[in-house]
Amino acid sequence: MEKPEYVRVLYKLSVSQRLAIVERIDRFGASVKDVAKEYQVPVRAIREVYKNKDKYSGRSIHRKTISKTAVRANQQRLEHAMRLSVQLAKDNDIPLTTTWLRSKAHDFAKLFNVLQFKGSSGWYHKFRTQSKIEPADAKKESSINAECGSANTEPDCDPRQLLGQYRAKSTFFLVPFGLFYKCTPDAVAGYHRKVCPNGGLADHRLTILCTVNMDGSEKLPLMVIGNEKSPSSLSDIKSLPVLYRCNLCSWLCWTVLRSYIEQLDKIFQKANRKALLVMQDSPAFVNREKNIQLNAIKLLFLQSNSCFGKLQFSFIKRLKQHYRQELLNQSLESMEDDKSFNWKVTVLNAVNILARTWSGEISPAIIRSSFQEAGFSKHLKDPPNNEVHSCSTDGNGIAPELLTSDWFDGYCAVDANLVCSGLRGDRAIRDIIKKSQNPSAVPVQPPNPQASLVSKDSLQAALSEIQGVLYSAQNVPKDILGHFQTIQQLFDGSQSLETTKS
């Protein structure tokens, strides 16, 4: 009698089943025998699963396997993000210490899903060598951190006493504010309550810096800060009515502000004037006290907990109202022509509207009343007389009831709490890396258009072929033949001009 062949039965349990078994035993108190009957496996298999439960505790039920190509691409994105973050830190004069670099690398590792990133000393040394970052000793790092902590604190002085030493004509305020310049009337819902604390939506934002003295007699040109060094709409423009600067997050960083203040200091020094520059303090202005030397300007950074609180001026609100009103006018004209809101706002449109509004619509009386409402005028050396300015609303083709409606107020206040300066731009860096096709390459300038020009012989051959096809075909519309003859005449005229020049 032959013995039956022994067949080994394999019991396969997936990771999700193993996690469910451990949860049934630990959380619900089920017995091993009951769980074995439910899954139709031997008791020893359930005991083996429960014995190795720590092995499955860190694994997710819906975990997806990542290929080596995706892992390598995520690592390249992380290194690219670190290079951009270092550039942003240099713009704000942030010390590049070892602890800062490693913490930033771990943040980007979570953001780009780089699993098991350790940030070892070898990785740090390699990145530091590639980015040309000087190593910092432990003693030097502690001194730098101490300086950074003390740099944010103002010296013990009352801002009211400092304001009392200057006249209204010599007291200038630097007032930055954020603007969603692409927010048309049909896109208000997409920008509602967006604050962008991490630098997001940098392509849709602009930061505008207004510089004006307290009596409104001197309004300096606006400074507009975007995230592109040379936007496409400004490529053929030789001069602008504003000062345009670029920053990775469309923020007012300390490097841009410092160069602007130094230029003002030279202008005041040549004119033999002394001035006081007042501005709201920000964590982005870290090392402002030790790396700027001024001769004709005294800086005053107001803390948010000072006697004046957060700086809010009504002329900024008026400037935004006129800007939104202009966008509404343009959108209505576009709707009348094309029966749809298809007008897209460019940086050039925004710059022209802002400059025109700043120079024509914001009068000195509006500026003086704004400072009186904020409580600054009474602390000056020469406080102006109390005057009440009645701001009349000019519709410019729009119904007055529309301007006073709740909808228009919400449209003007869509970017009221927008962040215009900061130290963290992780979201802006992530958006830039997502847009770039090659994550390991830094965005470069567009190629030279002359390299893609076609030779004249090939153009002549193409024109002759098109001419043969048109004349050989039947029922060709006369418009097409007329357009082709125009193109051929232009080509022949350009050739004749080149021959006469030669």
Whether 33 shows a pLDDT value over 90: the answer reads: no
Residues 383-394 pLDDT 10s: 555 544 444 444
Q: Alpha-carbon distance 23 to 174, whole Å?
A: 60
Q: Alpha-carbon distance 237 to 352, whole Å?
A: 12
Contact of 159 with 300, CB cutoff 8 Å: yes
Place of tokens 């997710």: 60
Q: For residues 186-191, give the mean pLDDT.
A: 85
Q: Alpha-carbon distance 159 to 276, whole Å?
A: 11
Q: Alpha-carbon distance 157 to 168, whole Å?
A: 20
* Alpha helices (runs of H) in 152-207, residue ranges in sequence order: 159-163, 188-191
Angle at 284 between CA 169 and CA 133, to 5 degrees: 130
Q: Alpha-carbon distance 18 to 24, whole Å?
A: 10
Q: For residues 482-493, give the mean pLDDT.
A: 72
Confidence of residue 270 (pLDDT cuts 50, 70, 90): very high
Which has more pLDDT, 348 or 434? Answer: 348
Long-range contacts of 310-314 (CB under 8 A, 24+ apart): 310/280, 311/173, 311/175, 311/280, 311/374, 312/374, 313/173, 313/175, 313/370, 313/371, 313/373, 313/374, 314/366, 314/369, 314/370, 314/373
Residues 209-246 pLDDT 10s: 999 998 888 999 999 999 888 888 888 888 899 999 98
| Domain 68-131: CATH architecture, name and number where available | Orthogonal Bundle (1.10)
Position 28 scores a pLDDT of: 75
207, β-bridge pairs: 178, 225
- Give all strands (DSSP E) within 107-251, no chain letters: 171-180, 205-213, 223-226, 243-246
Residues 310-358 pLDDT 10s: 778 889 988 998 898 888 888 877 776 655 556 688 999 999 999 999 9
Contact of 250 with 91, CB cutoff 8 Å: no
Whether 90 shows a pLDDT value over 80: the answer reads: no
Residues 53-80 pLDDT 10s: 777 655 544 445 556 777 777 778 888 8
Considering only CA atoms, which of 130, 78, 123, 124 is closest in space to residue 97? 124
DSSP, res 219:
B
Chain centre distance of CA 383: 39
- The highest-confidence range among 37-41, 353-357, 383-387, 469-473, by mean pLDDT, is 353-357
Q: Alpha-carbon distance 420 to 205, whole Å?
A: 9
Position 333 scores a pLDDT of: 78
* Reported pTM: 0.62
